[in-house]
Each structure stands twice: as C-alpha cells, then as structure tokens.
Structure 1
Amino acid sequence: MTAHVSIETVTALLQTYGADPDRWPPELRGPATARLAAQPALAALAAAECALDEDLAQWPAHASRLEARAALVALAQSTPQDIAPNHDVPAALPRNWRRGLVGAGGLVAAGLAVALVTTPADVPVPQTASAPATVVRVAAPTVLTDDDALQMVFSEVDSDEWL
C-alpha cells in the first residue's frame, strides 16, 4: 500500500496541510500515513511540521477584520512617528536641489541651441580607403505654410491614378 504514495507526495502533504493527518485529503490519509511510518526521514519532517503547527496554534485569531484593523491602528498610534533629525550626517542633496536641476536643464537646452545654430552647413564625409574625402552640402530645412501643406496633401499626382 505504501507504493502508491511517493515520498514527494507525503512531503508535499506535510508542508501543505501540516502534521495532522485529519487535515490531509481523505483518499491519501491511509497510504501517506503508512509511508510516513516506514520512512524515518519523513518522520523527522513530520516532527518539524508538528512544531510549526503548535507555534501557529498559539497565535491569537482575530474575530473579524475590523478588530484586526483596529489593533493595527492602535499599534501605529502608540508608536512614535516623529524621527529626530540626525545633524551629524550631511544631507545627500541640498535643500533647493530642484532649482539646481531646473538651472542645469536650462543650461543643457541653451547648449543644444547654440550647437544647432553654429553647426556649419558643409559636413565632411569621412574618408575611406577606396574613395577620396568629399563634402556634402546640407540644405536648409524648408518651411511650409498651411496652404502649401494642404495643396501637397490634396493634389493629385501620377501615382494616385490607381486610387
């Protein structure tokens, strides 16, 4: 009869339901109890689980969630909430770190604007072994008006004939 229940199954029963066989599923009680009696290693595990069951039984059970919540609130209110500042440890960030962050962001934006304005129109292309260095002229961006954009979107072109 012990061959029907593996050691892993008995271990899982002990860890899931505890050491009391009355809490185990009824169809596994007989074979698991027989396997437990035959294996000394399982008996040691059952003793450890029995000690855990006894520890858990000593915990007070709350009648309702409201009582548990009231007990938690009472504990929180009885615990001092204010922590005295430690003046020996310097602060990681200065008090007005946000102003510094905004100022640094402004400096980065100004630097990017200067870099975009002062970038030359002639950009050299890196020289490779097979081709001499060439210079590519970058065209200035075209600014479209609303009328130009509408005319581009709604004008017919040769590729639109299939529509």
Structure 2
Amino acid sequence: MAQHARQAVSVYYRPHPVTPANHPSPPLQARAESRQLGGDCLSGSVSLPNSKKMVMAGGSMLALAALLVTPHLGEGEAQPVASDACIKLEQVQNPVSRDRLRRLLALEAASPKAAVRTLLNQPHCVLPPTTGRNGGQTEREAYPLEFDPTTWLIVTYENNQYTGYDFSFHR
C-alpha cells in the first residue's frame, strides 16, 4: 500500500488561480503594489490607502465636536430630593390594607384632607414639607402598607386638600 503525502489545507487558505499558459500573469511588482494599497491585483479592486485613517480622523472630530457642544453635561443644578425621614410620629403602626388603598386611588384630587383622614385614619408619621406644583407648601404623611411593611404610601396635601400620593420603597 502506497502512502501519499497529504497537503495541509487551512480554512483561511485560498490558492491563487492558475493562469493559462497563453495569458501572461501580472508582473510581480504590480502585485506587491496592489497588496500595499490593500487590494488584490487579480480581482481588480483597489481600496484607498488612507481610508482607515480618514474614518478615525472623522470620528475623532465628531467626538470632539460633541464634547464642545455639551461641555458641562451633568453639572446643572440638582433638584433637591424630598427627605423621607419622619419629623413627627403619629401612630406606632397603622398599616393600609389593599381595600383602603383601592378606595384612596378612587378618591378625587382636591378632596378635603378630613375625607382622606377618615379613610386612612391617623398617619404613621409626618414627613418634612416640600414645595408644591404651585409654589406653595405641600404637607406629606406616610402610611405603611399592610401587605408590604417596607413600602410606605406617601399622601400629599396642599392647602388642606388632597393632591396625590407616592410610594417610598425599602424602608
């Protein structure tokens, strides 16, 4: 049994096409120049020598322009965050059930504070006042939720009228 030498074949290997005997191959110098330019002399496609450099320069200029347009991004005045620390404890525990929460959500804005207090009873604590939408003082009261004691229902009032609610998580 005769053994034949195997040729190593790579996935990336692409043999050059064989040129017919009557067709002259391009001179070696033309092939070298074509490869330096990034093209293949046999396929006839030649790319620009500095195309990568031009793309990098254009991208750098675009990034520089973006930095010049927004030099102080993120340095604007930060809005003060309302503190969720109690300034006055009213009740030791007065959790709000799902049913009372559902009834509060059905309550219309601008309802009197007394109507909300009738529905929710006394708050667990009173939070520091904040500035409201109209520039007036907003009173805030906190009620823990019965089904999730780490979450508080924050009820807000302006001029003794109910203006809305919010939730404070991770107590």
Please classify the TM superposition score into its range, dividing by the shorter chain length: under 0.3
Q: Which has the higher contact order (CA 8 A, sep 6+)?
A: 2
Q: Which has the higher strand share?
A: 2
User: How high is the TM-score relative to the length of structure 1?
Assistant: 0.16
User: How high is the TM-score relative to the length of structure 2?
Assistant: 0.16
